[in-house]
Amino acid sequence: MSMGEGQAPALTEAELKLVQTLVYQECGMYFDERRASFLQDRVIRRLKECGVDSFYSYYRLLLSQPGKKELAQLVENLTVNETSFFRNKAQLDLFQHEVLPGLIERQRERRDYNLRIWSAGCSTGQEPYTLAMLVADALSYSTVRSPEPSVPALPKPPVPVPWRLEILASDISYSVLRAAQEGSYAEHQMSAVDYSFRLRYFDKVGARYAVKQSVKELVHFDFHNLKTEYLPQRNDIIFCRNVMMYFDEAEQRRLVEKFHRCLNPQGYLFVGHAESLLGLSDKFQMLHRNAGTAYQRVEVSQ
């Protein structure tokens, strides 16, 4: 690393390689040449914030036991957290009009009224809250059409009895998880949320929109690093959108394999618009409708 006078310090190629490998091992994010300057900027920023005077000292800190916290902080600084409500409308239409009604019907036939959905890489919460609203609507609609043998509870919950909806939303960044848990959004973040959803699922608090407590209770936020093996099991549906695109092919392959194990039989995986399972796994069957794509787990005989 060189620090010329008045110049921004630059990492050498070897230094960049070291930190690139460490970050990849920690969280699966892969910084190729196109993203190397982003990696360099963030490393130098953290290095200054830690008050460390050389790359060597910073790297030693990252490798040490007390430096674990700093490594997590660096990773957090490298994440891209862009997200929005009702992102990828075509895919959500497929979810709402085909995948969800099929799943609800299947569960009803089995008299199993539990639904478990995992939003992996949930960022500031717009994705899991979108799912909570869509599933709550779908369950209410299906219950009106074929009422369950139950006494309706008062006041009316967003999910009709006897259904139990559990949405797990996870991320590697604590700061986005905190914001997600808070569930308070500015007007400009609400552009894709139509009037009917705003009215039923949000409270207007000053200039902001707060997700109603009853909807928040459907979503459980937690830290999970997708690089690790210990991931939430027995999901009916997994959304992991715009996360895999930051991993290299080997890591994507490993992740898809893990998702296969984390899904219930016939469960579904939704990935981002720019992502695909093509060439990564033959354990999923692709469903494609009007520009929306989902992948259904197929059962492989041992």
Ligand X SMILES: C[S@@+](CC[C@H](N)C(=O)[O-])C[C@H]1O[C@@H](n2cnc3c(N)ncnc32)[C@H](O)[C@@H]1O
| Amino acid symbol at 254 | R
Residue 117's DSSP bridge partners are: 167, 237
For position 82 contacting ligand X by CB under 6 A, the verdict is yes
Instruction: Tell me, residue by residue from 258 to 297, as one string, x for binding to ligand X by CB under 6 A and - for no binding.
Output: --------------x-------------------------
Q: Is residue 133 at the binding interface for ligand X, with CB under 6 A as the rule? A: no
C-beta of 125 vs 160, nearer to ligand X = 125
Give yes or no for a contact between 211 and 202, defined as CB atoms under 8 angstroms apart: yes
For the CB of residue 277, give the shortest distance to ligand X in the complex, in Å. Answer: 16
Q: Which residues from 50-69 bind ligand X, rule CB under 6 A?
A: none
Choose between 173 and 252: whose C-beta lies nearer to ligand X: 173
| Beta strand pairing call for 208-211 and 292-297 | unpaired
- In the list 40, 79, 143, 235, the residue contacting ligand X (rule: CB under 6 A) is 79
Distance CA 78, CA 76 (A): 5
217 CB neighbour count, 10 Å cutoff: 13
Of 119-127, 155-163, 256-264, 274-282: span binding ligand X (CB under 6 A) = 119-127
Query: Which stretch in 15-23, 37-45, 97-105, 167-175 sits in contact with ligand X by CB under 6 A?
Result: 167-175
Residues 159, 108: contact at Cβ < 8 Å?
A: no
CB of 69 to ligand X, least distance (A): 17
Please state the closest distance from residue 23 (CB atom) to ligand X, in A.
10
User: Does 216 participate in binding ligand X (rule CB under 6 A)?
Assistant: no
Q: Which of 11, 19, 23, 27 is close enough to bind ligand X by CB under 6 A?
A: 27
Which positions from 226 through 255 interact with ligand X, judged by CB under 6 A?
A: 226-227, 241-243
- Which residue(s) pair with 10 in the sheet? 2
Per CB under 6 A, 128 contacts ligand X: no
Cβ proximity to ligand X: between 136 and 240 the closer is: 240
> In the structure encoding, which two tokens stand for residue 97, read together?
């009009």
Helix axes 36-49, 68-78, angle to 10 degrees: 140
> In the complex with ligand X, which residue's Cβ is closer, 160 or 267?
267
Nearer to ligand X, 171 or 236 (CB): 171
Q: Binding residue for ligand X (CB under 6 A) from 94, 159, 172, 277?
A: 172
CA-based max dimension of the chain: 76
DSSP 119: E
Task: Give the count of alpha carbons within 13 A of 282, CB side only.
Answer: 2
**In what helix (H) or strand (E) does residue 138 lie, and over which residues does it extend?**
helix 126-145
CA proximity to 222, closest of 230, 214, 213:
230
Kindly determine how many residues on this chain lie close enough to bind ligand X according to the rule CB under 6 A. Answer: 25
Phi-psi region for residue 189, left (φ > 0), alpha (ψ -120 to 50) or beta?
Answer: alpha
- Smallest gap from Cβ 14 to ligand X, in A, equals 25
**Binding interface with ligand X (CB under 6 A):** 27-29, 79-83, 87, 121-123, 127, 171-173, 176, 224-227, 241-243, 272
